[in-house]
Structure 1
Amino acid sequence: MSPRHIPRALRWCFALLVACLPLHAALAEDTALDADTVNAAAHDSGDAALLRAQVLLDRAHFSPGEIDARGGTNTTRALAAFQRHRGLTPSGALDAETWQALTADAPAALVTHTIGADELAGPMRPLPEDMMEKSKLDALGFESALEALGERFHAAPALLQRLNPGVEFAAGQRILVPNVADAAPLATPDRVVVSKSDSVVRLVDAEGAVFAQFPASTGSDRDPLPIGDWTIDGVAIDPTFHYNPELFWDADPAHAKAVLPPGPNNPVGTVWIDLSKPHYGIHGTPEPQNIGKTQSHGCIRMTNWSARRVAEVVRPGMTAVLEE
C-alpha cells in the first residue's frame, strides 16, 4: 500500500509516532540506573526491573545475551526457558510469579568493581576490516577498554556508560557493573541441542530437561544449519582461524587462504567447539550484540562468554543435536 492510500488520520498518527521516537529514545537513554534502584526493583518498574531480570537470568544460565536493559527476543526466549525450568507457564513475560522465582534469595544485580590494570592489558587498537590485513597482526584483541569491560561483565558498552555517566574507563576507576562474575557452575549435560527456530543452544540432562540456554545465530539460507545428530570432537580456547575464501560465498575474490591470530575479535571469538560435521562448530563472536539477531555462515555462533560456559562442560564424544 502506498502512503497516499493510507487514511489521513492514520498518516497523521504515524507521523506523530515517528516524530516522538527520537524523544522517547533520548529520554530512555538519559534515565539513570543506580544500584539502589535496580537492586530493589519490582517486576513492573521499567528498565530497572528489566536490567535486574537480565542479570539474574544470566546468573541462572538462561542467558539474555548481551545485557542492555532494553530487552528483545533474546530476553523473551530466556524468560520462557527459565519459566519452563521452574514449571511456570512459558509466556516469556516478566510477570509477578516469574519475578518471585527469579529474585527469591538472589544476590544484588549490580555491584561495584575496581578496574584492574590487567583487565586493560593491550594492545587495544582499532582493527582492520579486511581479512588479509587481520592476518598480518599478532593478535585480534579488544579495540577499547569499554569493549573489554563489556565482555567481562556480559554487558553492552552503552549500558556500562549509562550505569557510569561521565566516567573514564581506566585502571583504578570504580564502576557499577552487572553481577555476573560468581554465577554457580554448570552441570555436565547429557547432550547439546541447537534449535534453529528458537535461535538458541540448550544444555539437556539425561532425563531430557533443559537446565541452561544461550542465544545463538544458527546459519542462513545460503549456509543452512546442518540438521542432524553430530558429535563434539574437541574444544579449542583462543583459537586461530584458518580462513579459506572458497568456503565463503561473500568472500573478496582477491583473498587467499590465511591464518588469523587469536583474540576476542577473531572471527570465531575465543572458543571453538569442533563438531563431527567438517568445517562446522559452536563458537564465539567479535560481535555479541548481533547474536540471535543476525545470520551466520552455517556454524553456531554465540557470545564469547556463553561459548566459554558451554566449552567448560562439554566433552569429546558428546552428542550435539542440530534441529529445526
Structure 2
Amino acid sequence: MIRWFAGLILLACFAAPAVAGPDAAAVNNAEFKGKPPGDDKINPAIVKAQVLLDRANFSPGEIDGKLGENAEKALKAFAVSKGLPVGKQPLTSEIWGALLATGSDPVVVDYKITDKDVKGPFLKKLPAKMEDLKDLKSLDYTSPREALAEKFHMSEALLAALNPGKKFDEAGQTIAVVNVPVKEGKPAVTRVEVDKASQTVKAFANSELVAFFPATVGSEEKPSPGGVLKVISIDANPYYRYNPDYKFKGVKSKRAFKIRPGPNNPVGSQWIGLSEEGYGIHGTPNPSKVSKSESNGCVRLTNWDVDRLAKLLKKGTEVAFIEREAANKK
C-alpha cells in the first residue's frame, strides 16, 4: 500500500549555500582512474557514469555524483547485461569502457531557463501532515530549483554545485545541467520483475532486459504482494485517495480523503495500478529516499523513472514479485 513520509518538508528555498563542485569540462573530460572514489564528495567521473547509465536505461536513481547504493545497483545490472564480471568493486575499467561505448554526447550541457520553468505556481511549503495536503489546490514543486533538478534527474545539491552563485528563478539565464535525452522508440515490455531483496525493478521485452530502476519495495511490517500480478491502469498526474483502512503511521483521520495531483503528491507523477487492490508502482516527492526507506507495500520509483516505465507498459503486462528466498537462489 501507498506510504507517505510523515514529517516530510521540502526545504528547497531555504537550503544552505552550495559549495562549488566540478564544472562542465571536468565532468565531460572525466576519466576513471581505476579506483572508485573513497569519499562522499561529488566526483566528476561518477557524475559521468551516472548519466551514461541513465541514458542506457539503467537508472542510478537521482544523479548526485556519488557512488551510493543505487549507482552500485545500476552498475552491477549494466555489467551483467554486457557479460562483464561483477566483483567487489562496482566500477571497473571494463565497465567504464562499456559505458563510454554507449555514446559520445557531452554529459553536461548548457540550458537556458525558460519562462515556463519559473512561472510556477510553486508551493511555499509542503505541509508535514498528510491530512493537510487535501486542502491544497495542487501539489506543485516548491521552487524552480526543485523543478529543474527533477527535470534533469539530478539532486538539487549537484545542480547547485555545477552552478555556483547562480539562482534558478530567472528566465533567460544559462545554467549547466546533465544531458539525459529521451531515447526514441518504445520496446514492447512483456514482463516486469520486482525484486524485493535487492529493491529493484527490471523491465523485459521477451527475454531482453530493456530497463532497470532502483526502487523502494514494501517493508517487513507491510510487505509487497507476492506472485504474478498484472497492470490494470496507467494514470499520469494521479489523485491520491487515502483509505483509513490503511492505518498509516502519523495519519489520524478516520475518514477517507483525496489529495490533488502534482509532483509532490504522495504517489508522485504516475500511478501504475496492479491487479491486487491498493497496490501499484508509483513516483515519489522525495527521490533521494528511493530504496533507502520503507514503503507500505507499493513499489516506489523516482518520478522520472516511473514516467519512463509507464511509457513502456500497457494494460495486462505481467508484474512478478520475486520473494527473498527466490532472489537469493539467483
TM-score, length-scaled by structure 2: 0.86
8 Å CA contact 1:245–1:251 kept in 2: the answer is: no
Corresponding position of 2:194: 194
Corresponding position of 2:94: 97
Corresponding position of 1:48: 44
State whether structure 2 residue 62 is matched by structure 1 residue 66. yes
What's the CA shift string for 1:171-214, capped at 9, x where partnerless? 2111111101334444221101101111111011212x322100
8 Å CA contact 1:194–1:200 kept in 2: the answer is: yes
Matches within 5 A, 1:292-307: 292-307=291-306
Matches within 5 A, 1:51-130: 51-91=47-87, 93-104=90-101, 105-125=103-123, 126-130=125-129
8 Å CA contact 1:163–1:177 kept in 2: the answer is: yes
8 Å CA contact 2:20–2:162 kept in 1: the answer is: no
In the alignment, the residues of structure 2 paired with residue 103 and residue 176 of structure 1 have an alpha-carbon distance, to the nearest angstrom, of 21
What's the CA shift string for 1:123-163, capped at 9, x where partnerless? 11212122222111110000111110111000000100000
8 Å CA contact 1:85–1:210 kept in 2: the answer is: yes
The one-letter code of the counterpart of 1:85 is: S
Matches within 5 A, 1:254-293: 254-293=253-292
Per the alignment, in what secondary structure is the counterpart of residue 274 of structure 1?
A: strand
The one-letter code of the counterpart of 1:190 is: T
**Stretch deviating more after TM superposition (180-189 or 144-153):** 180-189
8 Å CA contact 1:233–1:276 kept in 2: the answer is: yes
* Paired positions, count: 295
Of all paired residues, the percent bearing the same amino acid is: 39
Distance 1:167 1:222, change over 3 A: same
State whether structure 2 residue 151 is matched by structure 1 residue 152. yes
Note the C-alpha offset of 1:255. 4.8
8 Å CA contact 1:203–1:210 kept in 2: the answer is: yes
From the CA coordinates, give the structure whose radius of gyration is larger: 1
> Which has the bigger relative contact order, CA under 8 A and spacing at least 6?
2
Corresponding position of 1:244: 243
In the alignment, the residues of structure 2 paired with residue 248 and residue 180 of structure 1 have an alpha-carbon distance, to the nearest angstrom, of 39
In the alignment, the residues of structure 2 paired with residue 268 and residue 93 of structure 1 have an alpha-carbon distance, to the nearest angstrom, of 31
Distance 1:261 1:203, change over 3 A: same
User: Which of the pair is proportionally richer in helix?
Assistant: 1
User: Where do 4+ consecutive residues of structure 1 move more than 3 Å?
Assistant: 182-186
TM-score, length-scaled by structure 1: 0.87
* Long gaps (5+) in structure 1: 1-28
The one-letter code of the counterpart of 1:267 is: P
Distance 1:182 1:205, change over 3 A: closer
Distance 1:186 1:77, change over 3 A: farther
Distance 1:152 1:185, change over 3 A: farther
Distance 1:99 1:186, change over 3 A: farther
State whether structure 2 residue 181 is matched by structure 1 residue 181. yes
Note the C-alpha offset of 1:90. 2.7
* Long gaps (5+) in structure 2: 1-17, 38-42, 324-330
